[in-house]
Amino acid sequence: MIEKTTVHRASVIVQNGQVVQAIIDNEWNELKQREAADYDDLNLDKSDKIPLFYCPNPRPTECAKESDPVCSNNKADFNNPCEACKKKTTKWYIKGSCALGFIDKASNDLQNGKITTESGSALILAVWAQNG
């Protein structure tokens, strides 16, 4: 029996001993990897990457009113990363609304016996974050 496999590589950004971002990518290109703050400026095709951002410690207590939607590990939508990280139950978030469905798509693909780049990446990140 031949099993289908996918290969993923991970880029993890650590600042002051804390993981601040993890990117799972099936086509690694070191030249495209930058600091977490520069990620949004790259204008890369994000269909094959799911950037996952960890909340800082200490957590924010006040946030600016800006619109930069994120989806937390609890599948909750927030207006911006700061609002997400104010909640103590939020460990990490993905850029974009939960309606984009990265986590749900991963679960559905797994149940249907198929794994895509997107769903495989989301599953790896979800399990990795859940297991610490």
The 10s digit of each residue's pLDDT in 53-107 is 778 888 899 999 999 898 888 889 999 999 999 999 988 887 788 877 666 665 6
Cα 125 from Cα 47, distance rounded (Å) = 15
What's the pTM value of the predicted model, to 2 decimals? 0.48
CA distances from 121 to 17, 24, 62, 87 (A): 24, 6, 32, 25
Name which of 121, 132, 126 is nearest 11 in CA terms. 121
What is residue 36's three-state secondary structure? helix
